[in-house]
Amino acid sequence: MAVPSPAVEELAHMITRSAGRGPALVSLDGPAGAGKTTLAAQLAHRLGGPRPAAVVHGDDFFRPLPWRERVAMTPRQGYSRLFTWQRLRDQVLVPLRAGRAAHYERYDPATNSLRHDEPGHITPTGTVIVEGVLTARPELAALYHLVVFVDTPGDVCLRRLYARGRDARRLAWITTWQAVERHYFTTTELRARAHLTIAHE
């Protein structure tokens, strides 16, 4: 479902105001199925021009782990281990903040490994939108110019997640991941820390 254009315009205005001489770094965080990827694409299109926007997907920073270990994690363990925030920081955010190009390894869910042959590449110009759950962790938040929480009703998120598959393996992962999300949102007070919350259905 498309994000209402006023929300996109508001975000674009805030990003333009936040930008300095280097790239404007923006995190779009919120629950899985909230519409973050769609919003990131719309923003990138809206902000196109002489300083084009680039999108970095948080899913690229998952940690390769055995399936049984992944779904058996407690919410706290999942928060600590499923997402390699250090790689996002060191390979993307810190270089861009310093005006250098970012080169980063991307996680491939099909092989449960990092793709060394097709790294991501971002130049230090324009706007860089980092979308995904956990991308605005407290360890990373200060590196962004703008942190946005995409707030979508839980039943809408769940319906979208089910639309991507409802086999036993998929359902087990949804249960694990949503528990990790709740732990993250609650313990780090993401809603309170975000510069802007967008209510989206």
pLDDT at residue 5, as a whole number: 59
Report the mean per-residue pLDDT for the chain: 91
* Whether residue 114 has pLDDT greater than 80: yes
Q: d(Cα 28, Cα 92) in Å, to the nearest integer? A: 15
Percentages helix, strand, coil for the chain (3-state, rounded to 5) are: 45, 20, 30
pLDDT at residue 50, as a whole number: 63
Q: d(Cα 63, Cα 191) in Å, to the nearest integer? A: 25
Task: Give per-residue pLDDT as tens, 157-194.
Answer: 999 999 998 899 999 999 999 999 999 999 999 999 99
CA distances from 51 to 3, 23, 42, 123 (A): 23, 9, 16, 10
Task: Give per-residue pLDDT as tens, 128-144.
Answer: 999 999 999 999 999 99
Please tell me the pTM assigned to this model: 0.91
Give the strand pairing for 146-151 and 127-131. Answer: unpaired
Task: Give per-residue pLDDT as tens, 32-70.
Answer: 999 999 999 989 988 876 666 899 999 999 999 999 999
